Amino acid sequence: MVYQNFSQGAQWLPFTPNRSFGQDPRVFVAADGMYFTTYDGRRVIDGISSLWCVGAGHNRREINEAIKHQLDTLDYSTAFNASNDRAFEAAERITALAPGDLNKVLFCSSGSEAADTSLKMALAYHRARGEGHRTVFIGRERGYHGVGFGGMSVGGIPANRKMFGSALLPRVDHLSFTHDPAHAYYNGEPESDHDLLVELEQRILPLHDPSNVAAIIVEPVAGSAGWYVPPKGYLKRLREICDRHGILLIFDEVITGFGRMGTAFGADFYGVVPDMLNFAKCVTNGVIPMGGVICRQSVYDAVMDAHANSPAHAIELFHGYTYSGHPVACAAAIATLNVLRDEELFQRAAQIGKLLGDAMHNRLKGLPHVISIRTLGLAGAVELSSLPGLVGKRAYDVYLECFHQGVLVRSAGENLVLAPAYIVNAEQIAQMVDVLAGAIRKHA
């Protein structure tokens, strides 16, 4: 019998209005290419790569086969004091793609774990170099680094923080949100009338003293908040400031990694090499949970060098997960990287992204309540003004309307986001943007 108890099922859905969901369940039972099938037999186009994960599209035979083969060969092996061949191979493939001397990967299973791993690595690095006093972390307003206590603390989305205040890490500060309402419409990198990093240099760093700061963590483009692109030159300048003060720079590339910007990483797009780079999502095309932190050789070396005189059995970093480098996840990652390479999907994302950007600007600008459109790479957001006292309702209603019209979009605050798989075609982009336009008009 087909299971259909979705309205009052036993599941508590994450980041979802559960009461509303119960009245209008949105449940998928199959997927292929760009499309889902719902439990009630409808076809829905996946306009968001299932939350930025499915870069190569759904149901990729090559990835599925690699997973099946791996299950029949080595299903799982412990990650501590031993490893597996796939984990080494996946790490080599990932670091080969990464810029600069980002040479070492520590695997985990999610973006949240990657965020906390990178913060802990930063503390370990400074301590290893005799600077254990560097414990201040700096994130950014509207940043998202998952839901662990570390990632939540450096994150800057107010709703994610407000219930958990007393459990947030101490000694955390935040850079200002980068969005400039005077430049609310952009198709590419925005301009800004202000130098946003003056605040870092003249207020935040002097307040804590730069010698106490361990790391600054930012997403190259703020994804979860609603695709807010930093102004031209921002990340390069951030790198320079970090270098000047011995502060580590962490890029959280859980969304921007593996092709979304039309390059392997956001770091490549911006020509800035961070000290650590967090990834998840697209690395396995979403099919098996995996995350990780790639760090520069110098970060790894510092932690190892501190143990130069330790006995051979001494562990250098007391951190890791049961599923770090899970062989099945690593097999999925290797197969995913093959598909991305063989089908030149990063390049395709760059090309088709221009089409998405143009379509969103041409079709959505000027519609009722639209106050901003931001596109770059293969992603874009349209922002609506809020109904008085009901922040987010307008976008949520538009999201529901799109779903009922056969297009899965994402609502984030008052933003509607499109971020389709890199295999999307022109016709599908037109359909997504048309449905979004119709839904915005309907809820005017």
Ligand X SMILES: Cc1ncc(COP(=O)(O)O)c(C=O)c1O
Point out which residues bind ligand X (CB under 6 A).
110-112, 115, 144-146, 219, 223-224, 252, 254-255, 280
CB count in 10 Å sphere of residue 82: 7
Instruction: Output 147 or 306, the one with its CB closest to ligand X.
Output: 147
Tell me how far, at minimum, the Cβ of 246 lies from ligand X, in Å.
Answer: 25
In sequence order, what are the beta bridge partners of 411?
416
Q: Is 16 left (phi over 0), alpha (psi -120 to 50) or beta?
A: beta
CB of 114 to ligand X, least distance (A): 7
Least distance in angstroms from the C-beta of 392 to ligand X: 17
Please state the closest distance from residue 394 (CB atom) to ligand X, in A: 22
* Residue of 186, 176, 177 lying closest to 379 (CA atoms): 186
**Residue 278, Cβ neighbours under 10 Å: how many?**
31
Q: How far is the CB of 326 from ligand X (least distance, A)?
A: 15
Distances from the Cα of 127 to the Cα of 123, 212, 214, angstroms: 6, 12, 10
Token pair for 207: 């307040």
The Cα 419–Cα 407 span in angstroms is 12
The SS3 call for residue 243 is helix
Measured from the CB atom, the residue of 145 and 394 that comes closer to ligand X is 145
Residue 426's contacts (CB-CB under 8 Å, 6 or more residues apart) are 352, 355
* Whole-number Å distance between alpha carbons of 185 and 172: 31
Q: Among residues 160 and 386, whose Cβ is nearest to ligand X?
A: 160
Of 287 and 437, CB closest to ligand X: 287
Taking the complex as a whole, the smallest distance from the CB of residue 280 to ligand X amounts, in Å, to: 5
Nearer to ligand X, 144 or 435 (CB): 144
Nearer to ligand X, 225 or 435 (CB): 225
CB-nearer residue toward ligand X: 409 or 439: 409
Q: Closer to ligand X by CB, 254 or 293: give it.
A: 254
> What DSSP letter does each residue of 339-404 carry, written as one string?
HHHHTTHHHHHHHHHHHHHHHHHHHHTTSTTEEEEEE-SS-EEEEEPPBTTBTTHHHHHHHHHHHH
Q: Which is nearer to ligand X, 224 or 431 (CB)?
A: 224
Four-residue CA torsion sign, 122, 289, 46, 425: positive
Measured from the CB of residue 227, what is the shortest distance to ligand X in angstroms?
A: 11
In eight-state DSSP terms, residue 229 is: P
Question: What radius of gyration do the chain's Cα atoms show?
Answer: 22
Q: C-beta of 276: minimal distance to ligand X in Å?
A: 13
Residue bearing tokens 């336009």:
437
Q: Are 139 and 154 a contacting pair, CB within 8 Å?
A: yes
What letter would DSSP give residue 147?
A: S
CB of 50 to ligand X, least distance (A): 11
Provide the minimum distance between the beta carbon of 52 and ligand X in the complex, in angstroms, as a whole number: 7
Question: How far is Cα 55 from Cα 48, in angstroms, rounded to an integer?
Answer: 9
**Which of 252, 268 has the CB closer to ligand X?**
252
Token duo for residue 122: 């930063």
